[in-house]
Amino acid sequence: MQRKSFHNVMNNKNKEISELEIEIKKEIDSFYNKLVSIKDLGGLEDIRTEYTGKKSFIIKSLKDIGSLPRDLKPVIGRELNTARSKIELEILKKEKFLKNIEYEKKLKNEGIDLSLPGREVVTGKKNIISRVIEEIEEIFIGMGFNIAEGPEVETDYYNFEALNTPRDHPARSLHDTFFVSENILLRTQTSPVQIRYMEKNKPPILIISPGKVYRRDYDVSHTPMFTQIEGLVIDKGINFGNLKWTLETFSHEIFGKDRKVRFRPHYFPFTEPSAEVDVSCNICGGKGCRVCSGSGWLEILGAGMVDPSLYSFVGYDPEEVSGFAFGIGIERICMLKYGIDDLRLFFENDLRFINQF
């Protein structure tokens, strides 16, 4: 399209300003008509040059203002500059619009947005419970133990009866059992694994059995599911001295050689004698504090010599063999080892918690 420059228009000094305004309006109309049909950034560049470039009507006219009569200069100048701003603004808006379209097209074609910054790959981490179980397993494997496992859904027989806890036994009420049916339950302890293992194996027996156990309980120091490691040693001539050495060795390995270990008489249905094992409190060094309830000691596990009456369930001769058993609460060990005061933190799988270890 051939357009006159404003200079040409203004050559005839007699023309009215209104006529010049008409020329500007025509220029803007022509710009709008072309802008509507622009479909890509290349086309937009072309009309940018055409309407705001050095050879464009408006720029050429602005250059020619100098030769206009003095009284016309400001009026024409203002008209031209307003028109240029309008055109430039429209071009910027269209440019933004077209860039968005091209970006979306690119996304669709590539199926991946290469312009986004890379994302850090966050790898999972083992729960502290699993890592402490592994640590404890290694300690016992180092002493010659094997690992045995059993079902979490158990029969009443293996969970209670074969462990010297018949139906009317008062110790049952301490367990807050989840019953599936009258004879099927979620195991309340890992001890049933002992019976299952003894049924299939003859002494010497040297096993630990880690696993989840279940009880109906929920507060800062109880959760419906928790983790135990049960240990069993049976052979000819096993005595309480062997039990003490084994558990002292374990306590020193897991908590450090500087910790004192003591055995306190206790009661468990399937061991006789039974003991609870404490380590000296690491917070107060044994002087007594809030964590150890002023005693200077922290309970870590229960143990005892296997009650000979248990052997009748698995066909061992109590005159021939003897042994000891122990049960360790993993969460308790974690709490004492790392100073954690709410048991529920172990099961929430909050990475902010897990990543601290």
The residue from 35, 98, 225, 289 that contacts Zn ion (CB under 5 A) is 289
Closest approach of Zn ion to the CB of residue 289, in Å: 3
Closest approach of Zn ion to the CB of residue 291, in Å: 5
Identify which of residues 281 and 321 has a Cβ nearer to Zn ion in the complex. Answer: 281
From CA 179, how far away is CA 185, in angstroms rounded? 4
Q: Using CB under 5 A as the criterion, what x/- string covers residues 249-288 for binding Zn ion?
A: --------------------------------x-xx----
229 counts as binding Zn ion under rule CB under 5 A: no
Closest approach of Zn ion to the CB of residue 184, in Å: 42
Residue nearest to Zn ion (CB): 281
Residue in 293, 295, 294 with CA at minimum distance from that of residue 264: 295
Closest approach of Zn ion to the CB of residue 280, in Å: 8
Q: Do residues 269 and 286 touch, judged by C-beta distance below 8 A?
A: no
Long-range contacts from 249-254, C-beta under 8 angstroms, 24+ separation: 249/139, 249/143, 250/136, 250/139, 250/140, 250/143, 251/277, 251/279, 251/300, 253/139, 254/135, 254/136, 254/139, 254/333, 254/337
CA distances for 133 relative to 94, 214, 240, angstroms = 64, 17, 25
From CA 162, how far away is CA 149, in angstroms rounded? 17
Q: Do residues 286 and 155 touch, judged by C-beta distance below 8 A?
A: no
Identify which of residues 99 and 287 has a Cβ nearer to Zn ion in the complex. Answer: 287
Closest approach of Zn ion to the CB of residue 293, in Å: 8
Identify which of residues 283 and 314 has a Cβ nearer to Zn ion in the complex. Answer: 283
Q: Do residues 178 and 214 touch, judged by C-beta distance below 8 A?
A: yes
Closest approach of Zn ion to the CB of residue 297, in Å: 8
Identify which of residues 281 and 330 has a Cβ nearer to Zn ion in the complex. Answer: 281
Which H helix or E strand runs over 272? strand 271-280
The residue from 193, 292, 310, 335 that contacts Zn ion (CB under 5 A) is 292
Identify which of residues 171 and 283 has a Cβ nearer to Zn ion in the complex. Answer: 283
Identify which of residues 30 and 295 has a Cβ nearer to Zn ion in the complex. Answer: 295
Sign of the torsion formed by the C-alpha atoms of 29, 31, 33 and 35? negative
Name the residues that contact Zn ion, by CB under 5 A. Answer: 281, 283-284, 289, 291-292
